[in-house]
Structure formats: C-alpha cells, structure tokens
Chains A and B, each alone.
Chain A
Amino acid sequence: MVSLRNHESTGQGEQPRRASAPSAADRWRALPALVRFPLAAAAAFAAVLALTFVTGPTGDLRIGSVGYYMLAIAGLQLLIGYSGQISLGHGAFMFLGAYTMALLVLHQPALPLWLNMLITVVLSCAAGVLVGAATARLHGPYLAGATLALAVGLPSVTVRFPELLGGSNGLAFSTRGAPPALAGVITNTQWQAAAVWLTTLIGLVVLATISAGRLGRRMRALRDDESAAGLAGVPVGRTKVIAFVISAGAGGLAGACQAYLLGTATPSSFTVTLSLSLLAALVLGGLGSMWGAFFGAVALVYVEVWGEDLAHALSLDSNVANNLPIVFFGVLLILVILVWPQGLHGMLRSLAGLVRRGR
C-alpha cells in the first residue's frame, strides 16, 4: 500500500496534467528542461514530504531508501542506458560515498550536511575520473569485468585499515536530526528522509538535464554507433569518461545518503550483490528513461519488504525466509522482461497508450 501511494504521489509532477487534457500535457512538455525538471522535482519533494506525515519511522526509512537507490540507479541509467557502457561495480562508488560521509561526520563534526554531500560528490567524481580513464578503452564485457573487480575488491580495504575504517564492523555515527525549531513539527526520521530526497531530487534534476541536452545526445549517439558518432565529431573517449564520472558522482552521493540515513557504513552493505542489484533494478525499471530509475528503486526496496512480510506471515524457516525476497525479485525481473522488455517504465507507457486509444 505504501508503495502505491508513494508512486502516485511522486508521479504528481506529470501524470495528472497528462490525464486532464492533452493540450496541458503538450504545454508541459514544451517547457524548457531547465524549468520543467526543477518544477517536477519540487512537486515530487512536496509529495514525499506529505507522505512522511502518514508513515511511521520505518516507512520514513524505506522512503529514504527508495530515494538513495533511485539516485544510484539514475546514475547507472546515464552510464548504461544513455552511453551504453556497462558497470557491474557501482556499489564501489556507493561504498566510497558512504565511508566519506561517515569519516566526515566522525572527524569533522562541525561541517554541515550539505557540505559533506558536496565533498562526497567531488571525491567520487575524482574516483570516477581515475576508473573511467583507466577503463576508457574497454567496452562490453571487458568494462563489466573491470568494474566488477572494483566492486569485489574495494570494500576489503576496511579490513586492511581497521583503525580508520572500523574493520568488518564498519563505522557507526549519529547525525544531527531535525533542527530544534522544527522539533514539534516533524520527526527526526522524517527530516532524514526529506534530506535524502532533496539530495536525490537535486541529483536527478542534474542527471535529467544532462541526458536531455547535448551531452545526452552525444552519449546516445556513441551507444548506437561509435564510429558514426566519431565521424559526426563526437569526442568518443572523452564523452565515455564524462558519463562514467557523472555516474560515479551519483553513486557516491547515493552512498553518502545511505550512510546518513542509516547512521552506519559497513563493508557488508556494499557487496557485489548490491552492484548487481542496482543493475537488475535498472533493467527492471526500464533502460533509457530516468523514470526507469524510480520504478527500479521502488521495486528494489519494496519487493524485499513484501518478501519479508510474507515470510513472517507464513512463519517460514529462516533459511527460506532470508531468500524469499531474492526469489521474488528474480521472478519479477524475469516476468517483466519476458512481457515488457522495456521494463516497468515501458509497461506503464504501453498501458497508458491502451487507455488513451480506448477512450
């Protein structure tokens, strides 16, 4: 139920206008991206904020999780859906972001949250430059392999430097909650979920603006036909590295949001499974559209929740119960790809098309 409400409300930026009159929808689409995306984001933010008033602390946490996953998946969307490079290692950038956030909070407690986020973005972009430049000549399975190695290898640095990074237990910290002035109005978890969503939406506006603009066009061109794009004057190598850097920045920021939301950064949160889940969620949500990131993130968070609820309701053995969410996600992924290869986003689009023709 929570998911449904969530989904409807975040869609508010666009859906109701489209339904009311085609002319309004057309007018909406005719707005320049620089106006349209921030407006949609503001509407989505208002909706999420409103939603946190009806959900409890657990719901807030889940809403926040949808937020940071969405940011990470949207970054991956830019890389995979637009520029056509596959990364199996985006969990590594989330790891980097989470630990950057944790270390900043622990060692520089005076810094404001927004500055921590900014530092995280800069650092993970820098890491993206290193990795992107090193892998610029790789593509397809070779790039996937190299990034996979990163996801496997990086989290183990925590064990190598236990004093600084807390070993396999990770780092735990507490962040300032809602400002005292708002103490009676919103709870700490609401404040956290809202902060995560604000960060996510700013990130999404940046990603959506990039992908709708000249850079996005270059990326789609080189994904389609690298040599033709080169002949048309697209700097192929540079565009690929830029895509990698932007998407690494989004991944890092998502990791920072996760650490901020959970108050911990542990190596076990950033296993290879996370990287693969992000990719699976992206494909499930739909490649080639920023909406896909939203549907993928919702699926990633709530399929697990429902799986756990069901296992609990059936009082299943813990071995079965632990794997039930994964089974659910796998089945959902297979079904959606079989029926709607364009993912959940494609499914909704074709359903909307049916409704429009039916009228």
Chain B
Amino acid sequence: MAERPILEVEGLTARYGAVTALNGVSMSVARGGICAVLGANGAGKTTLLRTLSGLKRADAGRILLDGADITRIPAERHVHHGLAHVPEGGGVIVELSVEENLRLGGLWRSGRRDRARRMAEVLELFPPLRERVSRPAATLSGGERQMLALGRALMARPRVLLLDEPSLGLAPLVTRQIMHLLLELRAAQDLTVVLVEQNARSALSITDHGFVLNQGEVVMEDSSRRLLADDRMRHAYLGF
C-alpha cells in the first residue's frame, strides 16, 4: 500500500437539477488494478463515469489522476491526461470506417509514425477489426463495435480506462471474450480498468475489487472475492 492509487475520488457530488445522482462518492483505485462498479439501475454508476471523464460537471468533490487534479478539465482533454472512457454502447462513429474511428482516438498524438505504430498494435489486439479495417463501422456486429470502441480508447495509450457496460446487448460468449480481453490488456498494457456492469456476477469474476453504489453513495467496498461470497450484499444490491 506504499504506492499511491492511480485514481482517487474524494466526496464527488453530481446533480441533475434537483436530483442528486452522486452524493459524496469517495473511492480509490490501485494502479494496475481492475475494479468493478456495481449497483442497480439508477444507482449512479454511469453518472460516476461521466463525471470522472468530464462529460458531467462535478458539483463538489475532487478527482485526482496520478495525483493531478482533473476535476475541472473539459472532456476532450481527459485523453491527454491518460484517462479514456468508453461510454455505454461504445460511442463508435458509425459512418466512419474502422480505421478512421481508430485514428480519431489517436488524433491528438503528434507523431505520424507513433500513430501508425499504435494503430498496428491495436489491430493486433483485435483480429476481427484488422480484417475489416476499411469497412464502415455501421457494418460491424455488436461485439466488433465494442472491440472498436475499446481499440479507439486504447489508441490514446490511456493509464486508466473507464468502461460502461461493455457487455450490454452482447451474447454471453462475446461478453466472456471481451472480459478475457480486458484481463489480457491489464497485464500487457499497464492499464487500470474501472468497469461498470449491470451483470455483477461476470464483473466480479474478472475484477479484483468492487464498489457497490446505491442511490449515489458507495454502500460497500471490498475485494471481488468477498463481495461474491457475501450473500446478504448480493441479495440486497446485486439481485442474484
């Protein structure tokens, strides 16, 4: 525990008008870890990610990335700081080609050669994308789109990757593939992953730590193994 956590959140509060979606959330994510944010519908999971990546303004609290305060920087600057966010559904630009989508993710990098090398690395990770590199993203299947969304985020070589429900609408087999990929990425790319999942069982099976949100507050935080074993918690918040 000597090392400083890569992501620290202190008393984060976010409101939509009169509705408080996040109410003083504090959490810290260890470097190189992969953690799950769980909770029922409307618990504030997506708002948490949106606030972390600057899409939603924080009304109070602080977000520290590797010790640097990123609470007030605009959304598009977050990738420069090493924080990438794959929104729910992926946010793939359907009318651009696979390659153009990937380029979009790395477009702020200055070196052309660096960009090309990164693109090759990313395509190496996702063979199905490599075969469809000049096809419009609209022609991809759901799983391929999720891969493309991941690939686009990885183009920026993020240190922290926020993933919002990557398994949404995907077949169980594809979900498993994506989850495995995350594990590989964590190992190979020196990446910290924050995974928001509706599907608590599959999320806890690949993560090492979990936060449970309820009505905008962290109600429980523990290792994924213990969360899985805690029957009361499972019944109360996770519904399985």
Measured CB to CB, the residues of A under 8 A from B are: 214, 217-218, 220-221, 224-225, 227-236
- Report which of A214, A218, A233 forms a contact with B156, defined as CB distance below 8 A: A233
Chain A residue nearest in CB terms to B94? A224
Rounded to whole Å, the gap between the CB of A231 and the closest CB of chain B is 5
Task: State the CA gap A235–B54 with chains docked (Å).
Answer: 13
Given contacts A217-B103, A221-B104, A231 and B96 within 8 Å (CB-CB): no
Min Cβ gap A50→B in Å is: 37
Residue from the list A217, A220, A224, A227 in contact with B55, Cβ < 8 A: A227
Instruction: Rank and list the top 5 A-B pairs by shortest CB-CB distance, nearest first.
Output: A228-B91, A233-B79, A230-B75, A224-B93, A233-B108
Indicate if the CB atoms of A225 and B93 lie closer than 8 Å: yes
Separation of A308 and B96 alpha carbons in the complex (Å): 43
Residues in A with CB closer than 8 Å to B187 are none
> Which residues in B have their C-beta under 8 angstroms from that of A224?
93-96
User: Complex formed: what's the CA distance from A224 to B55 in Å?
Assistant: 16
Partner of A233, one of B90, B93, B96, B105: B105
Q: Which of B85, B103, B108 contacts A231 (CB 8 A)?
A: B85
Residues of chain A with a CB closer than 8 A to B156's CB: 232-233
In the bound complex, CA of A233 to CA of B156 (Å): 9
Determine which of B79, B105, B107 lies in contact with A214 in the assembled complex, contact meaning CB atoms within 8 Å.
B107
Q: Which residue of B lies closest to A214 (CB)?
A: B107
* Most chain B Cβ neighbours within 10 Å, of A229, A230, A234, A236: A230
**Contact assessment for B100 and A217 in the assembled complex, using a CB-CB cutoff below 8 Å:** yes
Q: Known contacts A232-B152, A233-B76: does B91 contact A227 (CB below 8 Å)? A: yes
> Quick check: A221 and B75 within 8 Å, CB to CB?
no
Q: B138 CB to closest chain A CB, in angstroms?
A: 10
Give the distance in Å from the alpha carbon of A228 to the alpha carbon of B149 in the complex. 10
Complex: chain B residue closest to A227, CB-CB? B55
Of A220, A225, A228, most B-chain CB atoms within 10 Å: A228
Q: Which of B80, B87, B107 contacts A234 (CB 8 A)?
A: B107
CA distance A224 to B80 in the complex (A): 22
Judge whether A217 and B104 touch: CB under 8 Å. yes
Q: Is the CB of A234 within 8 A of B91?
A: no
B108 CB contacts on chain A under 8 angstroms? 233
Within 8 Å CB of B92, what residues of A? 228
Task: Please name the residue on chain A nearest to B104 by beta carbon.
Answer: A232
Chain B residues in 8 Å Cβ range of A229: 76, 93, 104
Measured CB to CB, the nearest residue on chain A to B108 is: A233
B53 surroundings in chain A (CB, below 8 A): 231
Q: Contact: B87 with A233, CB < 8 Å?
A: no
**When chains A and B are docked, how far (Å) is the Cα of A81 from the Cα of B74?**
26
Of listed B74, B76, B104, residue having the most chain A CB within 10 A: B76
Chain A contacts for B79, CB-based, 8 A:
231-233
Q: Closest approach, in angstroms, between the C-beta of A162 and any C-beta of chain B?
A: 47
Interface string of B20-61 (1 = CB under 8 A from A): 000000000000000000000000000000000101000000
Given known A-B contacts A217-B100, A220-B93, A236-B76, A231 and B84 have beta carbons under 8 A apart: yes
Please give the distance in Å from A289's CB to the nearest CB on chain B: 12
Within the complex, the shortest CB–CB distance from B70 to chain A, in Å, comes to 14
Q: Is B78 an interface residue (CB 8 A)?
A: yes
The answer to whether A220 touches B96 (Cβ under 8 A) is yes
CB contacts (< 8 Å) of A221 on chain B: these are 93, 96, 104
Considering the chains assembled together, what is the distance between the CA atoms of A261 and B100 in angstroms? 41
B153-169 toward A: CB 8 Å interface, digit per residue (1/0)? 10010000000000000
Q: How far apart sit A227 and B84, CA to CA, in the bound complex (Å)?
A: 13
A227 touches B96 (CB 8 A): no
A235 CA to B80 CA, complexed, in Å? 12
CB proximity of B122 to chain A, nearest CB, Å: 13
Query: Is A220's CB under 8 angstroms from B95's CB?
Result: yes
Q: How far is the CA of A321 from the CA of B94 in the complex (A)?
A: 46
Chain A hits for B75, CB < 8 A: 227, 230-231, 236
Residues of chain B within 8 A of A231, CB atoms compared = 53, 55, 75-76, 78-79, 84-87, 91, 153
Q: What is the CB-to-nearest-CB distance from B94 to chain A, in angstroms, rounded to a whole number?
A: 6
Complex-state Cα separation, A232 to B86, whole angstroms = 9
Chain A nearest CB from B89 CB (Å) reads 9
> Closest approach, in angstroms, between the C-beta of B14 and any C-beta of chain A?
15
Collect the chain B residues with CB atoms within 8 Å of residue A220's CB.
93, 95-96
Determine how close the nearest CB of chain A comes to the CB of B221; give it in whole angstroms. Answer: 26
Q: How far is the CB of B64 from chain A (nearest CB, A)?
A: 20
B87 touches A227 (CB 8 A): yes
Chain A residues whose CB sits within 8 angstroms of the CB of B55 once the complex forms: 227, 230-231
Interface centre among A218, A220, A227, A236 (most CB of B within 10 A): A227
15 extra interface residue pairs, beta carbon distance < 8 Å, beyond A224-B96, A229-B93: A214-B103, A217-B103, A220-B93, A227-B87, A228-B91, A228-B93, A231-B76, A231-B79, A231-B153, A232-B79, A232-B91, A232-B107, A232-B156, A233-B79, A233-B105
B105 nearest in chain A by CB position:
A232
Smallest distance from the beta carbon of A237 to chain B beta carbons, Å? 8
Which residues of B lie under 8 Å from residue A227 when comparing CB positions? 55, 75, 87, 91
CA–CA, A214 to B104, complex, Å?
Answer: 8
| Of B76, B80, B95, B107, the contact of A230 (CB 8 Å cutoff) | B76
Kindly provide the distance from the CB of A225 to the nearest chain B CB, expressed in whole angstroms. 5
